[in-house]
Amino acid sequence: MRRCIAFICLTGALAVAPAVHAAANPQIAGLQVALRAHGLYLAQIDGIAGPKTASAVHAFQHKHRLPYGVANARMRAALGPLGRPLFGTRTLKHGDFGWDVSVLQFLLTKRGVYSGALDGYMGKETTKALKRYQRAMHLLADAVVGPRTLSAIVRRDAVPVRTKPVAAATTVHVVRVGDTLTALAARFHTTIAAFASTNHIDPAKPIVIGQRLRLPAAAPALTPQRLDVRGMLDQWSARLGVDAHLIRALAWMESGFQTEIVSSAGARGVLQTLPTTREYVETVLAGRKIPQSVDGDIEVGILYLKHLLQVFNGDERLALAGWYQGELAVQKHGLYKVTKPFVANVIALRNRM
């Protein structure tokens, strides 16, 4: 049986566990982006299957009543469109959406040719970056990840792309000198009771050097990143009468469902609304103060988009342009050149989110 490297074996299952010295694995970046879309992973997209990634995986598995331990095909299906396909299993081209696009964006970012969002959508910015990469590698710059480009990426960045099913490695710890259940529970972010239950042992008895202990799943921590952001977006969309798919797509393009980021211009939260937008919504649209919270930020953003949809007679394209460049600017000048890619990307994602 081939051993997993950096907690990943492309055998139909991605094994994720806490690690002290984990190496980056681009396929894990795809998993992190998918988990971020569910509001379960807000750390850096780094391709490292460390404790934060493991905790997010376990939280997702707990919520969806899936077996703990590996991000297998069943879990990836439950993750939705961003949960598949794995990188290297199809030809990638403009307009594609999924796990493999997230991996490609991660790799292009590492190579310094892409500075856009890791959103799993192969839009204009990603295809331009891919062309730059292809030219640098003396490949045909066709913005398509076909056999030759895939081979170059895999060779240069050591991306595991094996898809033939083989047995997955079990995550175990071999007891060493000085190990105790107390120390192991702290090291692997779990409890003595969980260790005992997983291995069917008596916690009152000593463990033996050389004994193989299966690692229990880490208990999901109740932190802000555990918020069901997508569920909150859907609830507010239904309450305020705005299409949930449109709101999901807009929120994903703006923040990747991250709740605590603040832009250089001061835009905050999941929908990245400016302080001036909040003030307008509170004083003109809502007529009341709205809490400075995740719920409040979402309510502000959706109320403002609803206003724009009304102003532009339900035209989503113009409403999104108004969101991006300002309502008056759209009425006076139409769509700016820089606005068009943003609008196109949100519309493209609308039916995929």
Active site residues: 254
C-beta atoms surrounding 253 within 10 Å: 23
Tokens of 280: 């307008």
SS (H, E, C) 274-295: CHHHHHHHHHHHHCCCCCCCHH
Give the CA angle between residues 64, 169, 70 to the nearest 5°. 10
Could you tell me which residues come within 8 angstroms of residue 239 by beta carbon, excluding any fewer than 6 positions away? none
Residue 183 to residues 173, 193, 337, Cα–Cα distance (Å): 12, 13, 58
Alpha helices in 200-293 (DSSP H): 229-240, 244-255, 275-280
Could you tell me which residues come within 8 angstroms of residue 165 by beta carbon, excluding any fewer than 6 positions away? 11, 12
Residue 14 to residues 17, 32, 69, 123, 335, Cα–Cα distance (Å): 10, 12, 9, 27, 43
Q: Which helix (H) or strand (E) covers residue 129, if one does? A: helix 124-136
Amino acid at 8: I
Is the separation of the CB atoms in 89 and 163 below 8 Å? Answer: yes
CA dihedral 103, 123, 108, 2 (to 10 degrees): 20
Is the separation of the CB atoms in 8 and 173 below 8 Å? Answer: no
* Token pair 């202990």: residue: 213
Is the separation of the CB atoms in 181 and 27 below 8 Å? Answer: no
Rg (CA), the chain: 23
